[in-house]
Amino acid sequence: YYGTMATQTKPVLYGYFRSSCSWRVRIALLLKGIAYDQVPVNLIKDGGQQLTEQYKTLNPMQQVPAMCIDGITLSQSLAIIQYLDETRPGPRLLPAEPKQRAQVRMICDHIVSGIQPLQNLYVLQKIGTDKVEWAQHFIIRGFQALENLLQQTSGKYCVGNEISMADVCLVPQVYNAERFKVDLTPFPTIKRLNQTLLEMEAFQTSHPSCQPDTPADLRV
């Protein structure tokens, strides 16, 4: 028995610096001011550390993120974030008003189900050729819809003037779009919101360019 009680109850995030789904969880942790430990899972090295039997017990889907918290293990970023939101103090990531909550979830799901799964590492590995064209295709299609939705729902942030889980999902998806060299000019609302959010400390501290497992040549 080594740790103090505080150490023991700190949630442990299994993630990868460049995984947009891991980044979502890091942003949520920082926005809510929750101390956590991070265990890097390198999706490339050794053929992918997420494919080990050891990691499979944490997340049978063999993807990041996973989180050990309060005696249970969770996977899927939105399930983790909503659990944090429902059990931890700090600014809420879902609005109190049901229609706004629904709009936040709609935007999150457009990204989390409608865009990200089609351009993630596992799918691109299966595609083989034309990876960049494939990823661009689904990101652009998704951003056309998202731009349209955000024009209706956004204020200073994705839904009105309070930060929410939708903002937590938006920024990592824009980062992915930039990795795949998607031109953001046709998406002025997405671009504006992303810029506003990137000025916040929670988005900067959690950025893929400055995580414990970020390789030296990718550090900013």
- Contact set with its own copies (CB under 8 A): 59-63, 70, 72, 74-80, 82-83, 86-87, 98-99, 101-103, 105-106, 108-110, 112-114, 116-118, 123, 126, 134, 137, 142, 144-146, 148-149
CB of 106 to its own copies, least distance (A): 4
For residues 125 and 43, the answer to whether their CB atoms sit within 8 Å is: no
**Looking at beta carbons only, is 148 or 205 nearer to its own copies?**
148
The torsion angles phi and psi of 6, rounded to 5 degrees, stand at -60, -40
CB of 217 to its own copies, least distance (A): 31
Q: What distance in Å separates the CA atoms of residue 127 and residue 197, rounded to the nearest whole number?
A: 33
Tell me what percent of the chain is helix, strand and coil, each rounded to the nearest 5: 55, 10, 35
**Looking at beta carbons only, is 10 or 200 nearer to its own copies?**
10
Q: Which residue has the tokens 């494919």?
A: 51
The three-state secondary structure class of 139 is: helix
According to DSSP, the residues that pair with 160 across neighbouring strands are 154
**Looking at beta carbons only, is 33 or 60 nearer to its own copies?**
60
- Could you tell me the two tokens for 93? 């990531």
The three-state secondary structure class of 13 is: strand
* Residues ≥6 apart with Cβ < 8 Å to 61: 75
**Looking at beta carbons only, is 41 or 108 nearer to its own copies?**
108
CB of 102 to its own copies, least distance (A): 4
- Could you tell me the two tokens for 213? 């497992």
**Looking at beta carbons only, is 9 or 144 nearer to its own copies?**
144
CB of 113 to its own copies, least distance (A): 5
CB of 4 to its own copies, least distance (A): 23
